[in-house]
Structure 1
Amino acid sequence: MSRITRAGAALAVLFGILFSLAPAASAAPGAARALDPSWAMIKNQQSGLCIRLQDAKVISDCFGPQSEMYWIFTHPVAGAPTEYRHIKAASWAPDTCVATDRTVINTVGCYTPTLNPMWVVVRYEPAAPPAGMVGLRMENLNTRVCLDTRSANNWQIYPNACSQTSASQQWNIPLDVYNRLF
């Protein structure tokens, strides 16, 4: 082996050792973190819009940071029926849950002493959901009203008497998320 070849081989080994010891590159600042597989965007069947948490208000659109549009259905109390769930924000406010007092949809701490943030979440499909999705209806356990939306109010989310046939009360999530939760 010539001197040049030996020197090149030595440098290659040295660089290989140095690169193997270097820490892995971290994600760029501001890069999105990986989402928990049980988090889901919740989209209305009729409007196609998402439930979004913006400035501590529950609104209906799919425009904005992804972190404002992901939710998780958590079990609020050990031993409670499977369908009893909190609709919990997966964003900057991890102890924030959707609630209602019968007049508005708002957010509260998930473990307030009332049942307002607890929902009965059941499969509900008066209209066929998009492929790979499952329809749900979310009925508040305390007030017995459902999450609804209507075009007359720019698709604002509001509490309404539960229906057995309303596509505006059908909220779709991915089938794989549904299967993990229920």
Structure 2
Amino acid sequence: MRKLIVSSLVTADGIHGDPHLWAGEYSDEEAATAWLDALIKSDAFLMGKNTYELFAQMWGDPQGPYLQRMYDMPKYVYSSTLTKADWNNTTIVSGDPVAAVRELKTQGDGDLMVYGYGRLGQSLLENGLVDELHVVVNPVVLGTGTPLFRQGKRVNLRLESVSQRGNGVATLVYVPAA
């Protein structure tokens, strides 16, 4: 069965909203190499409507190996309102995302990747489909914005690993507690 990885950028004070406005200065070569390695191990990228609209706009014209990989790989957008997807190799899934992802996990060999921790990521975690939750903590305090976690069901996690990049970004990898 495929592994589902949810990876979210977050500030030191727990804000994850609008990372394109605050995470750029921490997106160095070390990060780009790690992100590309993770995408190479993945054979599909999953996202909600908001992430799709942002990424399709920002990364519609791939430049470099990371963006080319993102452009080429199969992408699934879980949305009940989106009717058209123009970004290369994108499929809209309008039904129950939990059921659809449960089925997708049984197909293929590569990882499934989700960026961010919006409604899709939270729903997948709460329904036992997430194999790894990567919380990428950036050394900045914003003081305001959308917090990483919202009200929801309790999910017990176990810290699997911690890594730190030279610029102070720390990645905490959690797995579901047994």
Given the two structures, how large is their TM-score scaled by the length of structure 1? 0.25
Task: Give the strand-richer structure, 1 or 2.
Answer: 1
> Which one has a bigger Cα radius of gyration?
1
